[in-house]
């Protein structure tokens, strides 16, 4: 029996991997995606509005958003393959979090290359924001893939895996509501009469979000152990499935289509809601935070009710 086989046998027969994960361990894991969630909420809600308010053309603002999404698409695939091959989840998570924090502050904190080059031309600003948007989404993808893929490597207990994922989703709700609470306070307390005032508003929102998110990332990295289960499972005798294998499965396209359309509806509505509230409804500045928060809370309540109804209908037919 080889050493890798022995390691695999020991891990799969270790009770610690089949027993339910502790409550604190679940909370520590769930906190790891807080920075991603709170910055993503700010990104899709306020990025286009922020860029057009500071002087970028609608086409330039769209280019910034598009550059980030393209980078995210390629980075998710590439980073996922690297993590699957080499592991080290916490290193990828930490590196991605650093990229997210630095690039996010560089976007909402003003045009850094413009200050370095002592120029503020529209072309330089657009290119600068496009670059930092791409960096932000690369870091975001690294953090997301590393964090999500840890679930199956932390425990073999299927119930604990569901609990870990549920906790992560709960922190997503906390992150979104925290972002809108911060934005509501900033928009209510301060008024934006000039471009400088406007930039200061979003700078406060961005820096506060980064601070909160980094605190939770610190908790996650310091209190969550690097999964050992991954090492053992790589030593088994089963052949590694090629990435091309999934393109032959109809279920892959079904799941991808449903997820893509869902994200499309959510992201588009989230990105243009602030424009609609301010430009069309002529509501106050605080409505840019209050209205998205109300919609988010209502959608959360409805999702719970639908889940309860579906469970009752299922129990009636069994």
Number of domains in the chain: 1
d(CA 194, CA 207): 20
Is the pLDDT at 232 greater than 60? The verdict is no
User: What is the pLDDT at residue 17?
Assistant: 67
Task: Count other C-beta atoms under 10 Å from residue 281's C-beta.
Answer: 10
Question: Is residue 155 assigned to a domain?
Answer: yes
pLDDT digits (tens, 9 = 90+) for 162-200: 899 999 999 999 999 999 999 999 999 988 888 888 999
pLDDT digits (tens, 9 = 90+) for 77-134: 999 989 988 889 999 999 999 999 999 999 998 877 777 777 778 888 999 999 999 9
240 compared with 278, residue with greater pLDDT: 278
Percent above pLDDT 70 for the chain: 90
**E strands along 12-139, which residues?**
none
User: What is the pLDDT at residue 300?
Assistant: 87
pLDDT digits (tens, 9 = 90+) for 49-62: 999 998 899 999 99
Is the pLDDT at 303 greater than 80? The verdict is yes
Give 87's DSSP letter: -
Tokens 């207990």 found at: 157
User: What is the pLDDT at residue 9?
Assistant: 44
Confidence of residue 7 (pLDDT cuts 50, 70, 90): very low
Residue 234 host element (H or E): none
pLDDT digits (tens, 9 = 90+) for 59-73: 999 999 999 999 999
CA nearest neighbour of 48 among 260, 270, 198: 270
Q: CA 221, 223, 229, 230: dihedral to nearest 10 degrees? A: 0
Q: Structural domain of residue 170, as residue ranges? A: 3-9+22-235+248-316
CATH number assigned to the domain comprising residue 92: 1.20.1250.20
d(CA 82, CA 142): 10
Confidence of residue 21 (pLDDT cuts 50, 70, 90): confident
User: What is the pLDDT at residue 235?
Assistant: 45
Do residues 30 and 171 touch, judged by C-beta distance below 8 A?
yes
Residues 6+ apart with CB under 8 A from 88: 226
Q: What is the per-residue burial (b if ≥16 Cβ within 10 Å, else e) of 104-113?
A: bbbbbbbbee
User: What is the pLDDT at residue 15?
Assistant: 59
Do residues 55 and 195 touch, judged by C-beta distance below 8 A?
yes
In Å, what is the CA distance from 197 to each residue of 106, 113, 188, 211, 225? 17, 20, 13, 21, 43
User: What is the pLDDT at residue 86?
Assistant: 87
d(CA 209, CA 41): 10
In Å, what is the CA distance from 230 to each residue of 59, 195, 225, 233, 301? 45, 50, 12, 5, 36
Q: What is the per-residue burial (b if ≥16 Cβ within 10 Å, else e) of 286-311?
A: ebbbbbbbeebeeeeeeeeeeeeeee
Question: Is residue 241 assigned to a domain?
Answer: no
The pTM of the full predicted model, rounded to 2 decimals, is 0.88
Do residues 147 and 33 touch, judged by C-beta distance below 8 A?
yes
Is the pLDDT at 237 greater than 60? The verdict is no
Q: Which of 6-10, 88-92, 117-121, 232-236 has the highest mean pLDDT?
A: 88-92
Question: Is residue 293 assigned to a domain?
Answer: yes
Poorest-confidence range of 12-16, 240-244, 265-269, 292-296?
12-16
d(CA 103, CA 128): 11
Is the pLDDT at 12 greater than 90? The verdict is no
pLDDT digits (tens, 9 = 90+) for 177-186: 999 999 999 9
Token couple for 197:
């005032």
Confidence of residue 229 (pLDDT cuts 50, 70, 90): low
Question: Is residue 15 assigned to a domain?
Answer: no
Question: Is residue 181 assigned to a domain?
Answer: yes
Backbone φ and ψ of 75, nearest 5°: -65, -40
Question: Is residue 121 assigned to a domain?
Answer: yes
Residue 268 host element (H or E): helix 250-275
Question: Is residue 134 assigned to a domain?
Answer: yes
User: What is the pLDDT at residue 6?
Assistant: 38
Question: Is residue 174 assigned to a domain?
Answer: yes
Token couple for 14:
């270790």
58-86 and 34-53 are packed helices; what angle lies between their axes, rounded to 10 degrees? 160
């Amino acid at each position: 029996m080889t050493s890798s086989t022995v390691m695999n046998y020991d891990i799969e027969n270790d009770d610690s991997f089949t027993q339910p994960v502790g409550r604190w361990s679940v909370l520590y894991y769930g906190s790891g995606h807080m920075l991603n969630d709170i910055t993503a909420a700010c990104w899709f809600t306020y990025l286009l509005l922020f860029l057009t308010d500071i002087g970028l053309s609608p086409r330039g603002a769209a280019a910034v958003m598009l550059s980030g999404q393209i980078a995210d698409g390629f980075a998710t695939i590439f980073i996922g393959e690297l993590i699957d091959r080499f592991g080290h989840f916490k290193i990828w998570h930490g590196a991605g979090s650093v990229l997210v924090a630095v690039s996010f502050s560089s976007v909402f904190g003003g045009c850094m290359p413009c200050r370095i080059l002592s120029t503020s031309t529209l072309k330089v600003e657009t290119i600068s924001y496009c670059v930092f948007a791409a960096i932000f989404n690369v870091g975001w993808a690294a953090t997301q893939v590393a964090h999500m893929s840890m679930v199956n490597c932390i425990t073999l207990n299927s119930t604990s895996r569901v609990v870990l994922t549920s906790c992560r989703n709960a922190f997503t709700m906390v992150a979104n509501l925290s972002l809108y609470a911060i934005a509501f306070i900033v928009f209510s307390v301060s008024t934006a009469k000039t471009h400088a005032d406007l930039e200061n508003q979003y700078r406060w929102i961005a820096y506060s979000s980064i601070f909160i998110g980094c605190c939770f990332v610190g908790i996650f990295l310091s209190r969550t152990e690097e999964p050992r289960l991954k090492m053992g499972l790589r030593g088994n005798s089963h052949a590694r499935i090629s990435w091309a294998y999934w393109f032959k499965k109809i279920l892959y396209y079904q799941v991808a289509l449903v997820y893509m359309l869902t994200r499309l509806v959510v992201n588009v509505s989230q990105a243009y809601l602030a424009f609609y509230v301010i430009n069309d409804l002529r509501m106050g500045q605080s409505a840019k935070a209050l209205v998205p928060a109300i919609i988010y809370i209502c959608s959360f309540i409805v999702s719970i009710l639908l889940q309860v109804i579906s469970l009752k209908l299922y129990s009636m037919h069994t």
